[in-house]
Amino acid sequence: MTGLLFQAFIYLCAAVIAVPVAKRMGLGSVLGYLIAGIVIGPVLGLVGDTESIQHIAEFGVVMMLFLVGLELEPRTLWTMRNRLLGLGGLQVGVTTVLVMAAGMALGLGWSVALAIGLVFSLSSTAIVLQTLNEKGLMKSDGGQSSFSVLLFQDIAVIPMLALIPLLALPELVHHGAEAHAEGGHGAELSLIEGLSGWQVAIVNIAAIAAVVAGGHYLSRPLFRFIASAKLREIFTAAALLLVVAIAFLMTLVGLSPALGTFLAGVVLANSEFRHELESDIEPFKGLLLGLFFITVGAGINFVLLFDNALLVIGLTIGLMALKAAVLLALSFIFRLRGADQWLFTLSLAQAGEFGFVLLSFSVQNAVIPTDLADLLLLVVALSMLLTPALFIVFDRVVLPRLDEEQGRAADEIDEKGAAIICGIGRFGQVINRVLKGNGYKTVVLDLSADMVDGFNRYGIRTFYGDASRPDLLHAAGLEEAGLLVVAIDDMDRAVEIVKHARREKPDLHIVARARNRHYVYELYKAGADDIVRETFDSAVRAARYALEAFGVHPHEVEKLITVFVERDRDGIRRLAQLYDPEIPPFENEPYMKMAREIEKETEEALSDNPSVHDRVKRAWLPPGSKAE
Amino acid sequence: MAQQSRKILVLFAHPGQRYSRANIELAKIARQTRGVTLVDLYAEYPRFKIDVETEQQRLLDHDVIVFQFPLFWYSTPALLKEWQDLVLEYGFAYGEGGVMIAGKLFVPVVTTGGPEEFYQVGGRNNYPLRDLLTPIEQTANLCGLRFVPPYTLYAALKAAGDDGLAEHIEGYGRFLKALRDDRLDLDAAAELSVLTAHTLPIAEEAQP
C-alpha cells in the first residue's frame, strides 16, 4: 500500500511541478511530462520498473481515440476517406519501404529491415493529437491531414501484428520462443485461440457489429436511465465502463482496443450525451496520457544511450529527416500549402508509442534481435522526445516566416458565430428559436434528461450536461463560439459559468439571465455583457397596461415606461458598483444611501414635478410654452 | 353619390396630446360626427408598429381620407409619415395595379403655431402653407386621390385663447358633414389656397 502511494506521489508530484513550468516556458505539456519522467527515472532513480505502469498508461491512448471518435460524425469520417486511405496509405507504405532500403543498405537482412520499416513508419498519436488539440490546430487543414494519417496508422497496426510473425528469423526462433513465454502473453484471455482464419474474421466482424449496433441502439436508453439517477459519478462510471468494456472486447477478439473505442466514439458522435461523455472521459485520458509520457521519459536507458550516443542520435535524426521528407513530398501531392504544409511535415516526423508495442512483439516473435531492439527503442523514445521541439520550430520559426512573407492576414470569418445556450427552459427556448430562425448555429446544453430527450424528439439538437463544468463548455465549442447565453435556473452555477467563460475568452459576448437583483450584481461582477432580469420586462409590460387602464394615452405610457426602464437600468448600474457580496445590502451604508437617492429621483421623474428630469414632458412641447 | 353619404376616415396624429388644445378638440368633434371614423394613430401604434393590412382595409372602407395633424417642421408628425411610407404601397396606392384608392377624396386638416402672415413669401416661413404641403398634395395626386385644400387653423395656440378656436371647431363639424353629404362645392374649394371656417364653400342643407 505504501509502495503504491509512494509511486502515485512521485508521479503526480513530477507532473504537477513539471507541466506548469513547461507550459509557462512555452514548451507544451507533452514535453513537460517527458522531462518529469526523465527526472524521476534516469536522473533521480525514484521509479524503477516502468513497464507495468506503461501498460496502464497506454489505456490513455485508447481513451484519446474514443474522444477523437466522439468528435467525428460518421459523415465527416466518410468525407475524409480519400485522405485517410491516400495520405495515410502512402505515408505508411513509402516510409516503410525507404526505412527498409536504408536498413538493408546498412547491412541488415531484408526481413529485419522490413520489420524496422513497419515500426518506424508509425507516428505518435498520443503526442501529436495532444499537442494539436492544445494548440487548437486540430481543425486546420494540416491538423486534419495529420489526423487522417494517424488514424490510418492505428488501423494499420492490426495487419502489421499479423505480418510480423511471418518474418521470423530461423536463428532467433528458439530464443524468441523463450522470450515469448517469459512475456507471459500466452496466459492472456483470448476468444480466438485455436480458431482458423475465417472463423477469426467472423468473430472480428461480429465484435465490431456489436460495438456499432450497441452504440447506436442500446446506449441511448441506457444513458438516459443512468442520467435519470442524477448522480454525476454514476454517469462518469458508466462512461468509463463503456470504454473499458469495448477495449476488453476488442482485446478478446484480437483487435486493437484503440480502434474499437474509436469506432464506438464515432457511433456515439450523434448522441445527445456526447458532450457529457467527452467531459467525463477527458480528465482520465489526460492523466493516463500524462502518465504514459512520463513512463516514456522514465524508461529511457541512459547507459545504453551514452554508450552509443552518436549512433543513436545519428539514427534518430536520420529517421526523422527521412520521415519528414516523405511527408513533405506527400504534402505537395495532396496540395497542402503554407503553414498547413509545414505543420503536417513537422508534426508526424517521429516514431510512436505503437513502435514500442511492435518492437517488443517483434522480439517475442524472433524477428529482431534483442540488442538491436533495445537500440531501436531508444531511437523511438528519442524521436518522441524531440517532437515537442519540432512543434516549437513550427511555432517560432515557420509561422513568423510565413507571416512575414504574406503579411498578417485577417482571420477569415466564413460562418456566423456559433452560440452556446445553457439551459433550454422557457427562457432559453425563446432565444434558441430566434437565433435558429435567423440562421445562427446554436449548441444547447441542459441538465434535465427529460428536456433534452423531448427537445431532440421535437427537432432541436440539445445535449445533456452540466454547463457549470468548464470542460463541458469547452467541449461545446467555447473557443469558437461568439456568444454565450446563460439561462439556467441555478444562479450560483450561472455566475460560475460566466466567470469561467469570461476568463477563458475575454472577447466573448455573454448574455445572462438573473433571477433577482442580487444576481444582477453578481453577474455584472462576473463579467456578463447583457444581464436580463427574468421578471423585469414582463412586470414593465404589466405596468404599461395598468397606466393605460387609467386612461393615460398609450403613446404617453410608452414614453413614461421607456424613461422608467432607462432610469432603473442606470440605477442598477450605479448600485452594482457599490454592491459588496461580503456585506448584506441592508448593512452596506453607501449602497443604501445610493438606493434611497435613486428611488427619490425616479419618483420625481415620474411625478408631475417638471424641475427634475423632464424629458417626457419636454417632448412635443408647443413653441413658446413651458412644461406644466 | 348625393343619395349615398360618404364615409370619412380621419387619421389623427399628435404625439404630445398632453399639450394639445386645438387638435384634441378637433378630434373630439370628428369622433362625434356620424359617418366619421377617427383613428388616433399614436394611441394605436405607440411603438410605431403599423399594421399595414388593417390600415389599407380602412382606406378601402372609406370614401374620404383626412390627415389631421399639427404642422411639425413643415411636415406631418413622424408617425403619420411612417404611415404613408408603409401603407401607401406600390401596387396598392400607386404604380402597376396601384389603383385601389384612386378616386377617393383627400383632405389635410392642419393646425400651425405661426400666424397666417408668417406663411407667405418674405414672411418668417417664407412660403404659403399650401406650398409647404406640396409633398402631401403630390402624394395624393400620385395615388389618384382628389386633393381638397387644407382646412387650416393658423396660430392655434393664440386661437385657443380667443374665439378663433371655437369657430374653427364648429367649422370642422360643418366641413365633415358637408363632405359626408356631398354638399361641399369641390370645384369652388379647389379655387382656394387653404380652407378656413369662414371660407368653406358649402351648399345649404337640403330641405327634406
Closest residue of chain A to B78, computed from CA coordinates:
A620
CATH of the domain spanning A416-534, picked from 3.40.50.720, 3.30.210.10, 3.40.190.10, 3.30.479.30: 3.40.50.720
Is a pLDDT exceeding 60 seen at residue A180? no
CA distance A253 to B165: 102
* Interface mutation vs chain B, best among A541, A544, A545, A553, most B CBs within 10 Å: A553
Cβ distance of B17 and A553 shorter than 8 Å = yes
Is a pLDDT exceeding 80 seen at residue A234? yes
* Domains (range + CATH), chain B: 8-190 (3.40.50.360)
- The partner residues of A464 in beta bridges, in order of sequence, read A446
pLDDT score of A611: 41
Higher pLDDT pick, A374 / A101: A101
Residues 6+ apart with CB under 8 A from B196: B151, B152, B153, B168, B171
CA distance B19 to B159: 14
| pLDDT band of A626, cuts 50, 70, 90 | low
What Å distances lie between residue A411 and A408, A415, A416, CA to CA?
9, 12, 13
| ipTM rounded to 2 decimals | 0.79
| pLDDT band of B58, cuts 50, 70, 90 | very high
Interface membership of B43 toward A (CB under 8 Å): yes
Q: What is the mean pLDDT of residues A194-208?
A: 79
pLDDT score of A614: 59
3-state secondary structure chain B: CCCCCCCEEEEECCCCCCCCCHHHHHHHHHHHCCCEEEEEHHHHCCCCCCCHHHHHHHHHHCCEEEEEEECECCECCHHHHHHHHHHCCECCCECCCCCCCCCCEEEEEEECCCCHHHCCCCCCCCCCHHHHCHHHHHHHHHCCCEECCCEEECCHHHHHHCCHHHHHHHHHHHHHHHHHHCCECHHHHHCCCCECCCCCCECCCCCC
CATH architecture assigned to A55-192+286-400: Up-down Bundle (1.20)
Which residue among A554, A555, A621 sits closest to B19, beta carbon to beta carbon? A621
Residues of B in contact with A555 (CB under 8 A): 15, 17, 42-43, 46
Is a pLDDT exceeding 50 seen at residue A413? no
Instruction: Answer whether A558's CB lies under 8 Å from A620's CB.
Output: no
pLDDT score of B67: 98
Is a pLDDT exceeding 60 seen at residue A185? no
Per-residue pLDDT tens digits for A74-105 = 777 787 888 888 889 999 999 999 999 999 99
Which residue among B18, B43, B157 sits closest to A554, beta carbon to beta carbon? B43
Residues 6+ apart with CB under 8 A from B187: none
Cβ distance of A628 and B18 shorter than 8 Å = yes
Instruction: Answer whether B6's CB lies under 8 Å from B186's CB.
Output: no
pLDDT score of A412: 30
Domain ranges across chain A: 10-47, 55-192+286-400, 416-534, 535-621
CA distance B184 to B199: 11
Interface membership of B17 toward A (CB under 8 Å): yes
CA A25 centroid distance within chain:
22
pLDDT score of A67: 82
Query: What SS3 class is residue A463?
Result: strand
Lowest mean pLDDT among A80-84, B18-22, B147-151, B202-206: B202-206
Question: Residue B123 burial by CB count (10 A; 0-12/13-18/19+): exposed, middle or buried?
Answer: middle
Residues of A in contact with B113 (CB under 8 A): 622-624
Is a pLDDT exceeding 50 seen at residue B84? yes
Is a pLDDT exceeding 80 seen at residue A549? yes
Is a pLDDT exceeding 80 seen at residue A153? yes
Instruction: Measure CA of the first residue to CA of the last residue in chain A; give whole Å.
Output: 88
Lowest mean pLDDT among A56-70, A162-176, A494-508, B67-81: A162-176
What Å distances lie between residue A202 and A193, A205, A249, CA to CA?
14, 5, 14
pLDDT score of B114: 92
CA distance B205 to chain A (A): 37
> Average pLDDT over chain A, rounded to whole?
80
Is a pLDDT exceeding 70 seen at residue A188? no
| pLDDT band of A240, cuts 50, 70, 90 | confident
Domain A55-192+286-400 matches domain A416-534 at the CATH topology level: no
Q: What is the mean pLDDT of residues B79-97?
A: 94
Which residue among A553, A619, A622 sits closest to B157, beta carbon to beta carbon? A622
pLDDT score of A43: 77
DSSP state of A486: E
Cβ distance of A621 and B157 shorter than 8 Å = no
| pLDDT band of B106, cuts 50, 70, 90 | very high
Is a pLDDT exceeding 80 seen at residue B25? yes
Lowest mean pLDDT among A115-129, A168-182, A198-212: A168-182
- Which residues, numbered 152 to 191 in chain B, qualify as contacts with chain A under a Cβ-Cβ cut-off of 8 Å? 157
pLDDT score of A608: 57
Q: How many CB pairs under 8 A join A and B?
A: 37
CA distance B132 to chain A (A): 19
Phi–psi pair at A311, nearest 5 degrees: -60, -50
Q: What is the mean pLDDT of residues A590-619?
A: 71
Is a pLDDT exceeding 80 seen at residue B181? yes
Which residue among B15, B46, B157 sits closest to A620, beta carbon to beta carbon? B15
Percent of chain B topping pLDDT 70 = 97
Per-residue pLDDT tens digits for A443-494 = 888 877 677 777 777 777 778 777 777 777 777 788 888 899 999 888 888 9
Nearest to A595 by CA among A571, A612, A613: A571
Cβ distance of A555 and B46 shorter than 8 Å = yes
CA distance A444 to A486: 10
Higher pLDDT pick, A402 / B91: B91
Helix, strand, coil shares of chain A, percent, nearest 5, are 70, 5, 25
Pick the most confident of A109-118, A385-394, B76-85.
B76-85
Is a pLDDT exceeding 70 seen at residue B144? yes
Phi–psi pair at A417, nearest 5 degrees: -55, 135
- The partner residues of A186 in beta bridges, in order of sequence, read none
CA distance A512 to chain B (A): 26
Pick the most confident of A225-229, A604-608, B176-180, B204-208.
B176-180
